[in-house]
Amino acid sequence: MLTIVSDVLLTDSFLIKGNIENKYTRLSQVLDETRRYFVKVRDATLVDLNTCERINTPLLHVNVDEILLAHEFLDSGGDAAARELAKNQATHRVRVFYTGNLNVELGGEVRPSSYEADDRTTRRFFTMRNPVLRGFNDRGDPDLKLLGKLPYAILNKLRLSYVYDFN
């Protein structure tokens, strides 16, 4: 049976593919505005980052604080007008670093100061356009390789260790 996957989450240990339950708008906004500790992922597949072993489950609760980055393959709850406005925003080139169990670096374009705590547009998550992932071993796995080809990534600012802003 083929399952359509709309959402991808990356944690220190797993790449999680599935469908965020009760998604009412763009994934970036859902993650940023949730007041719950956990988001529910339906039809979830977890890919172990070390062994590439897969675990399938009909329902998975993922701690929002564990999410390093996310991406929405299918815009099932999107706002076309907001997406068009975002295309014309000024951006800064940055490199961000996650350190810990998974040491990775992402380079790309973000809205100025979107990673700051006093950013008035976002709380916990912000979007990076044209991300380039470094320091990540995809082990030849087709699902893990997808992380290197994303047009944008939704980043958890609370999990960032360092930000190098070229501006």
Rounded Cα distance between 13 and 45, Å, is 13
Kindly state whether residues 32 and 106 are assigned to the same domain.
no
Neighbouring-strand partners of residue 64: none
Compute the average pLDDT of residues 65-71.
96
Residues 6+ apart with CB under 8 A from 136: 102, 104, 144, 147, 148
Q: How many domains does the chain have?
A: 2
Kindly state whether residues 110 and 158 are assigned to the same domain.
yes
Q: What is the pLDDT of residue 75?
A: 58
* The CA-based dihedral angle spanning residues 78, 29, 56, 48, taken in that order and rounded to the nearest 10 degrees: 130
Residue position matching structure tokens 């470094």: 134
Would 24 be classed as within a structural domain?
yes
Rounded Cα distance between 17 and 72, Å, is 10
Rounded Cα distance between 112 and 61, Å, is 32
- Domain extent, residue 99, equals 80-165
Would 96 be classed as within a structural domain?
yes
Kindly state whether residues 86 and 68 are assigned to the same domain.
no
Kindly state whether residues 136 and 117 are assigned to the same domain.
yes
Q: Where does a domain end: 52, 72, 92?
A: 72
Kindly state whether residues 61 and 90 are assigned to the same domain.
no
Tell whether the model's pLDDT for residue 38 goes beyond 50. yes
Residues 6+ apart with CB under 8 A from 140: none
Q: What is the pLDDT of residue 89?
A: 77
Q: What is the pLDDT of residue 77?
A: 46
Q: What is the pLDDT of residue 86?
A: 56
Q: Are 102 and 12 in contact (CB under 8 A)?
A: yes
Q: What is the pLDDT of residue 21?
A: 94
Q: Are 131 and 71 in contact (CB under 8 A)?
A: no
Tell whether the model's pLDDT for residue 149 goes beyond 80. yes
The model's pLDDT over 106-128, given as tens digits with 9 standing for 90+, comes to 999 999 999 999 998 999 999 99
pLDDT band per the 50, 70, 90 thresholds, residue 24: confident
The model's pLDDT over 72-85, given as tens digits with 9 standing for 90+, comes to 986 544 455 455 54
Neighbouring-strand partners of residue 96: 106, 163
Kindly state whether residues 151 and 89 are assigned to the same domain.
yes
Kindly state whether residues 109 and 155 are assigned to the same domain.
yes
Kindly state whether residues 15 and 90 are assigned to the same domain.
no
Kindly state whether residues 47 and 93 are assigned to the same domain.
no
Rounded Cα distance between 151 and 91, Å, is 15
Would 17 be classed as within a structural domain?
yes
User: Mean pLDDT across the chain, nearest whole number?
Assistant: 90
Q: Which residue type occupies 114? A: S
